[in-house]
Structure 1
Amino acid sequence: MKKLFLSMMAIAALTMVSCGDDDGPSEPAATCSDGIQNQGETGVDCGGPNCQPCTVEPTCTDGIQNGDEEGVDCGGSCPNSCDTSGVVEVTTNITSDVTWTSNNIYELQGRIAVTNGATLTIEPGTIIKAFAGTGANASVLIVARGAQLNAVGTASSPIIFTSIADNIELGQTAGTNLNENDRGLWGGLIVLGNAPVSLDGDAESAQIEGIPVTDPNGLYGGSDPDDSSGNLQYISIRHGGALIGEGNEINGLTLGGVGSGTIIDNIEVVANVDDGIEFFGGNVDASNLFVWAQGDDAIDIDQAYSGTITNVVVVQGDISDHAFEIDGPEGSLQGAFFLTDATLFGLDANEADGEVADYRDNAQGTTRNVLVTGFTGIGDGLQLSDVELDNDGVANNYTNGLLVFENWEVVLPTGVTTSAEIFDDRSTIGSTFEADAATFSSAVDNNGAATVGADTSAFSWTYSNAKAGLGF
């Protein structure tokens, strides 16, 4: 009987140490690196009112730790003591493989790079919030050359990059306090690879815009066209484009020297100060791209990008510039893009800004199956809704067949009588482009009559579709 009494006393004492409900001094906040609290270990006390949830998923199948069972101590009266969801601060570079899970919100604090050949995996439904930062230290996520980002969301559980100011919570796909006019609240997502780029002076690599030259993780370009930077699918990037310096902002999604081994599919960019998505060289293919309310250009192509872009929707905002801005090779390396199946929505009330496209500086490639609607009419003697060939070099590329336009349909803006009127040759070699416009463009009375453009049903999952009521 005495032995039984002593055993019962020992069990009671153990319970008080491990998961007591007393009001005595609480244990210090824990690091809980393995999700397990062992006897005498500084860890997470999930008993009593002073709970400190782990930041890793524990093995806690029944909510109870029975001495030798692996898991979190879920004794005591702490409500939701097995819930390990919370906020994870990201303050240093990622140098080894890591997974971000959907039961946490990850907070980017400053310039964070995935380096050293590491892979960052992000689960469907994960929310990443970023602080604004200042200048060169604006919060941004960089996937450096040799590293990978495997961020594969789903239509019902997209991966969301947004501002710390966004009141979106775990399990949600949208907050309530920000809209398409809230821009520049953090940086953006930058993915860099080892694929070829055409650079001035035929350099093999360069520093990506928006990242200080002192940061080696900002280099992009190389000699491997098959390079892989990972897999990006069903990702929504919101409220970015922080100002780094005068005239230097970060794009929503920047792709520098990204190779064909990378998957880019179902990407949405909303309310970015600078461009929505910009391709600097490389040859990665990209499909199902949606840009809404960007401050500058929606889709920007530079430095002999030579991949295929398929199924694009652009919805201009009140300060947007071009839907497309296309530049060509800067060095001797040549390359031509292929962009097909796009619907470009202008903003009817916009009387000052918002052009369809600008082809500049040796632009080379094909733009095919494009529907243009909602752009403004003529003002100040210029066609504000125009498609431009900016200089003689680009006009020559058009004449020589290096720049190709096929199957454009245009819902005519006020004051324009034929679709050819929106095509504007700004060069000095003549009006060949304007004269030929009728051979690849036609007017339509409304969207219902259009036979080209994007498959907008692919974007029913987007924040933009829900927020703006686009009806996709």
Structure 2
Amino acid sequence: MNVGFILNKFLCRRKIKEFKPLKMKVMKKFFLPFLAVAALGFAAGCSDDDPINPGPGPDPDPEAEVVTKSGILEGDETWTADKIYVLDGKVVVDDGITLTIEPGTLIKAETGDLDQASALIVDPGGRLLAEGTADAPIIFTSVDDDIKPGETESSLELADAGKWGGVIILGNAPISVSAASGTALIEGIPDNLPYGTYGGTDPIDEFAPGEGGSKLDYISIRFSGVALAADSEIQGLTLGGVGSATSIKNIEIYSNLDDGVELFGGTVNVENLLIYGQQDDGIDIDQAYSGTISNAFVIQSEESGSAFEIDGPEGSMENSFTLRNITVDAGNFDGKLLADFRSRAMGTLENIYMFNINAAGSSVNIADNATAANYNSGKIIFDSWEIAVPAGKTVADLFTTLDSGGNPITTPVSNEAFVDNVTAVEEGMVGADLSVFGWTYTKSQGAF
């Protein structure tokens, strides 16, 4: 076989995208004994008829080019599936910049925490077009993961959370905060950096008129959640002030040190969401998020916190969220809250199915007096719930009103609005359609 011819083909396929005027370091894994042969082969020239395959292909590529990214992107970029991209610290998609990630692309993140933590951050006005497919999902993972382009199976374990930060998307949609500006700095980002502020007055928040917002589809985020600042671990996916023009669907969060997904205000809708192995809450809602999360599956592990943690508005704006068609596998772990409503929480939760519940300490909880007042006035709505109630318990037993210290709150609360809308079942007829999650790594691991 003509080695020079093969290397000539290799170089021809990559020469167009070899160098970009951006902050990157490129490492190519060529073997030194072949360099002279490669030079002779390349001298023969390249044909415009050479096919280019941008996808990962049926086989892994152990010698894929590695492109390291850091800092604020200075122009539009496209990340392709024939390379491995490494996040070295914070990589920021700035205002007016579009980052496109092709189906099947593998993104790995360097280890490190606090100011050395790696994360992908889309600042307000930036745009992320990351649209994978069921056969070629876009995977975010750690550099400690031996997964290669074309593969979907990771080498790390579920317990290996916190290897890197996560994916943060910020926008200009309304958030409920006490600041008169109506904006906030996303947790974990120091205030001396030129990015990280989110919130505003635009509930739609398009990248440009008629162009919509960011698009995320068939994304798997794994082994994330390290702290960006002291006591500020971040989520697998963080959405701060993201508007309804952004499309987010078919998302997997696998093994995160903090919450699976957290939404700080905004109006974005999320569809087909799977969360497994988070070490805090599954779905966390804050700052009067007012979109809809539909068809979600939360699988609790031994380290998990609440399946749902719901906080209310921090300022005067009082928008409400909707959780619809959600299934929770509580894992039969002792003392896990099914849902914790706090800080003036308000919203609608409909078609919810919860199962595999431990009889000891598992409950839907109202955590403070302000939240109890909202519940009593009908601002927390339970609609068409089904729960596989553990033996010896009733639906009423699963409703509690305890503060963070485990003490009863002082506001009188009737459980009627909960009990009248929850049915005890052996198998659920409501909840998520789990068939849409067949593409996920969680499914391949036999978690459901």
TM-score range, shorter chain: 0.7 to 0.9
**1:97 and 2:79 are equivalent in the alignment:** no
Cα deviation, residue 425, structure 1: 2.4
Q: 2:174 aligns with which of 196, 199, 202?
A: 196
1:19-48 alpha-carbon deviations (Å, 9 max, x no partner): 799xxxxxxxxx966559xxxxxxx99997
Q: Which structure's CA Rg is the greater one?
A: 1
Partner of 2:276: 292
Contact in 2 for aligned 1:91/1:109 (Cα 8 Å): yes
Normalised by the length of structure 1, the TM-score is 0.81
Contact in 2 for aligned 1:84/1:103 (Cα 8 Å): no
Q: Secondary structure at the match of 1:396?
A: helix
Cα deviation, residue 458, structure 1: 1.1
Residues 67 and 157 of structure 1, relative CA distance in 2, 3 Å threshold: closer
Return the alpha-carbon distance in structure 1 between the equivalents of residues 162 and 327 of structure 2.
26
| Bigger RCO of structures 1 and 2 (CA < 8 A, at least 6 apart) | 2
Q: 1:342 aligns with which of 326, 331, 345?
A: 326
Q: Secondary structure at the match of 2:238?
A: strand
**1:409 and 2:386 are equivalent in the alignment:** yes
Partner of 1:436: 417
1:52-99 alpha-carbon deviations (Å, 9 max, x no partner): 99xxxxxxxxx9764585699xxxxxxxxxx99411111232121100
Q: 2:250 aligns with which of 266, 271, 288?
A: 266
Contact in 2 for aligned 1:107/1:130 (Cα 8 Å): yes
Contact in 2 for aligned 1:376/1:414 (Cα 8 Å): no
Return the alpha-carbon distance in structure 2 between the equivalents of residues 455 and 202 of structure 1.
42
Partner of 2:375: 398
**1:230 and 2:209 are equivalent in the alignment:** no
1:279-298 alpha-carbon deviations (Å, 9 max, x no partner): 00000011111100101111
Contact in 1 for aligned 2:216/2:248 (Cα 8 Å): yes
Q: Secondary structure at the match of 1:50?
A: helix
**1:283 and 2:259 are equivalent in the alignment:** no
Q: Secondary structure at the match of 2:268?
A: coil
Return the alpha-carbon distance in structure 2 between the equivalents of residues 211 and 288 of structure 1.
29
Return the alpha-carbon distance in structure 2 between the equivalents of residues 400 and 47 of structure 1.
74
Partner of 1:41: none
**1:454 and 2:439 are equivalent in the alignment:** no
Q: 1:147 aligns with which of 126, 131, 140?
A: 126
Residues 69 and 173 of structure 1, relative CA distance in 2, 3 Å threshold: closer
- What are structure 1's unaligned runs of at least 5 residues? 1-18, 22-30, 37-43, 54-62, 73-82, 379-383
Residues 460 and 51 of structure 1, relative CA distance in 2, 3 Å threshold: farther
Return the alpha-carbon distance in structure 1 between the equivalents of residues 138 and 5 of structure 2.
39
Cα deviation, residue 438, structure 1: 2.1
Return the alpha-carbon distance in structure 2 between the equivalents of residues 52 and 262 of structure 1.
49
Partner of 2:395: 419
Contact in 1 for aligned 2:372/2:413 (Cα 8 Å): no
Contact in 2 for aligned 1:20/1:48 (Cα 8 Å): no
RMSD: 2.7
1:339-377 alpha-carbon deviations (Å, 9 max, x no partner): 1100000112x22x4210001111111001111111211
Partner of 2:337: 355
**1:218 and 2:199 are equivalent in the alignment:** no
- What are structure 2's unaligned runs of at least 5 residues? 7-13, 20-27, 51-61, 207-212, 403-408
Contact in 1 for aligned 2:131/2:218 (Cα 8 Å): yes
Normalised by the length of structure 2, the TM-score is 0.85
Return the alpha-carbon distance in structure 2 between the equivalents of residues 35 and 104 of structure 1.
11
Cα deviation, residue 130, structure 1: 0.2
Identity of matched residues, %: 43
Q: 2:226 aligns with which of 242, 252, 261?
A: 242
Contact in 1 for aligned 2:67/2:86 (Cα 8 Å): yes
Cα deviation, residue 247, structure 1: 2.1
Return the alpha-carbon distance in structure 2 between the equivalents of residues 52 and 112 of structure 1.
37
Return the alpha-carbon distance in structure 2 between the equivalents of residues 52 and 234 of structure 1.
41
| Partner amino acid, structure 2, of 1:440 | N
Return the alpha-carbon distance in structure 1 between the equivalents of residues 340 and 37 of structure 2.
55
Cα deviation, residue 436, structure 1: 3.4
Return the alpha-carbon distance in structure 1 between the equivalents of residues 416 and 119 of structure 2.
45
Partner of 1:24: none
| Partner amino acid, structure 2, of 1:200 | S
1:135-186 alpha-carbon deviations (Å, 9 max, x no partner): 12200000011000000011111100001111111100112x3121111000
Cα deviation, residue 424, structure 1: 1.1
Residues 202 and 366 of structure 1, relative CA distance in 2, 3 Å threshold: farther
Partner of 2:292: 308
1:412-447 alpha-carbon deviations (Å, 9 max, x no partner): 12441x122101123322231x243321001112x3
Contact in 2 for aligned 1:227/1:259 (Cα 8 Å): yes
Partner of 1:163: 142
Q: 1:110 aligns with which of 65, 89, 114?
A: 89
Contact in 2 for aligned 1:95/1:116 (Cα 8 Å): no
Cα deviation, residue 468, structure 1: 2.8
Return the alpha-carbon distance in structure 2 between the equivalents of residues 52 and 400 of structure 1.
78
